[in-house]
Amino acid sequence: MKVLIAEDSPVVRRGLQNFLEKWGYQPVETTNGKEAWQALMADPTIRLAILDWNLPEITGMQVCHQLRKKRLTPYVYVIIFSGRTSTEEQIAALEHGADDYLAKPAKPSLLKARLAVGRRLIEQLPG
């Protein structure tokens, strides 16, 4: 299953890529929100997305909000992956359409478990 990584930090992006490949996912890497949006629009086989909140050009939150407004089929499960840790910010992400929120730094096992939840939900949806 393809997973979009939208992360501007090369170190974090590389770490995510390595873990995703190890866990059997196919990572699609982008470095800013504009690239993330273009990748999502161009490739309907991307079903999971890990979006950093603070992306250049278009934020991860804006990408998520646009994605929900567009109501893409098939559904894309979105995890906001951010250094923002306040409860209010996490609620805002969920209210803007994120399916999950993971604060940086996160243990790889927690990310793996949350991706598994997303995968399980995606596999139960039609299309």
Over range 37-47, report the average pLDDT: 95
* Average per-residue pLDDT for the chain: 94
Rounded CA-CA distance 32/8 in Å is: 6
pLDDT in tens, 63-115: 999 999 988 778 999 999 998 889 999 999 999 999 999 999 999 999 999 99
Euclidean distance between CA atoms 121 and 53, whole angstroms = 23
Domain boundaries, the chain: 2-124
Total number of residues shown for the chain? 127
Residue carrying structure tokens 């139960």: 124
**The pTM is what?**
0.94
pLDDT per position as a tens digit, 23-32: 999 999 999 9
> Which one, of 53, 54, 11, 47, lies nearest residue 28 by Cα?
47
Tokens of 113: 């478990």
Say which CATH architecture domain 2-124 belongs to.
3-Layer(aba) Sandwich (3.40)
